[in-house]
Amino acid sequence: MIDSTLLNLLRKRRSIRQFTSQPVEADKIDALIEAAVRTPSSRGRRPWEFVVVTDPVLLRQLGKAKENGSAFLTGVPLAIVIAADSSKSDVWIEDCSIAAMVIQMAAEELGLGSCWAQIRLRPRNAECSAEQYVKGLIDLPESHVVECIIGIGYPAEKMTGHASEGLPFGQVHRDKFRN
Ligand X SMILES: Cc1cc2nc3c(=O)[nH]c(=O)nc-3n(C[C@H](O)[C@H](O)[C@H](O)COP(=O)(O)O)c2cc1C
Query: According to the binding rule CB under 6 A, does residue 106 interact with ligand X?
Result: no
Query: According to the binding rule CB under 6 A, does residue 14 interact with ligand X?
Result: yes
Least separation in angstroms between CB 16 and ligand X: 8
Residue selected from 117, 140, 150, 152 as contacting ligand X according to rule CB under 6 A: 117
- Using alpha carbons, select from 50, 55, 57 the residue that is nearest to residue 99: 50
Amino acid at 84: A
Nearer to ligand X, 8 or 118 (CB): 118
Report yes or no: 105 and 13 within 8 Å, Cβ to Cβ. yes
| E strands in 23-179 | 48-53, 78-84, 113-118, 145-153
Count other C-beta atoms under 10 Å from residue 56's C-beta.
Answer: 12
CA distances 147 to 30, 42, 119, 175, Å, are 21, 16, 6, 33
Query: According to the binding rule CB under 6 A, does residue 115 interact with ligand X?
Result: yes
Query: According to the binding rule CB under 6 A, does residue 118 interact with ligand X?
Result: yes
Q: Which stretch binds ligand X (CB under 6 A): 84-92, 112-120, 135-143, 165-173?
A: 112-120
Residue selected from 4, 15, 22, 87 as contacting ligand X according to rule CB under 6 A: 15
Nearer to ligand X, 169 or 177 (CB): 169
Nearer to ligand X, 152 or 177 (CB): 152
Nearer to ligand X, 49 or 69 (CB): 69
Let me know how many helices (H) and strands (E) the chain has, helices first: 5, 4
| Burial bucket for residue 52 (CB in 10 Å: 0-12, 13-18, 19+) | middle
Q: Which stretch binds ligand X (CB under 6 A): 9-17, 23-31, 41-49, 135-143?
A: 9-17
Considering only residues 119 through 178, tell me which ones interact with ligand X, judged by CB under 6 A.
Answer: none
Nearer to ligand X, 37 or 167 (CB): 167
| Burial bucket for residue 107 (CB in 10 Å: 0-12, 13-18, 19+) | buried
Can you give the binding site for ligand X, defined by CB under 6 A?
Answer: 14-15, 17, 69, 72, 115-118
